[in-house]
Amino acid sequence: MATVFSLIMEGELPAAIVHEDDLCAVIMAKDPLAEGHALVVPRAEIDHWIEVDDDLLAHLMAVARRVGAAQQRAFGAARIGVIVAGYEVPHVHVHVIPTSSMAELNFANASPDAPLEALERAARLIRDDLEPMS
């Protein structure tokens, strides 16, 4: 059965998408911890991040770094947090979160079901500042 992320990448579910390439997509979190919270998701349905091969893991982190730099510029964040938790969806995803403090990196603070329009606006801000992916 396809995961929610696969369904999004196949265009079967709505989402705000920041970036897509042959290996991954960057999707705005529907329950963000902060404005601009994005997920870097491999196209391959891999359940646990320790099962990701080295080349794909390096690509995911390189994309996360570029997205994080764009987030920092777009949202004026003090830091960009990165979390790989793996409990919400059985499909690897790297949370990339603009933050002002460590306290903001707490899933208890998630904003449930953010409006798609707000996610699209945040995605556009990131895309507008995103350096080209190689």
pLDDT, tens digit, 9 for 90 and up, residues 8-30: 999 999 999 999 999 999 999 99
Neighbouring C-alpha atoms within 13 Å toward the C-beta of 2? 11
Q: What is the pLDDT of residues 109-129, one digit of tens each?
A: 999 989 999 999 999 999 999
Tell me what pLDDT residue 24 has: 98
Is it the case that residue 134 has pLDDT exceeding 70? Answer: no
Tell me what pLDDT residue 127 has: 95
What's the pTM value of the predicted model, to 2 decimals?
0.95
Active site residues: 93
Tell me what pLDDT residue 133 has: 67
Q: What is the pLDDT of residues 50-90, one digit of tens each?
A: 999 999 999 999 999 999 999 999 999 999 999 999 898 99
Neighbouring C-alpha atoms within 13 Å toward the C-beta of 30? 10
What is the b/e burial string over 52-77, where b = at least 16 CB atoms within 10 angstroms of the residue's CB? beeebbebbbebbebbbebbbbbbeb
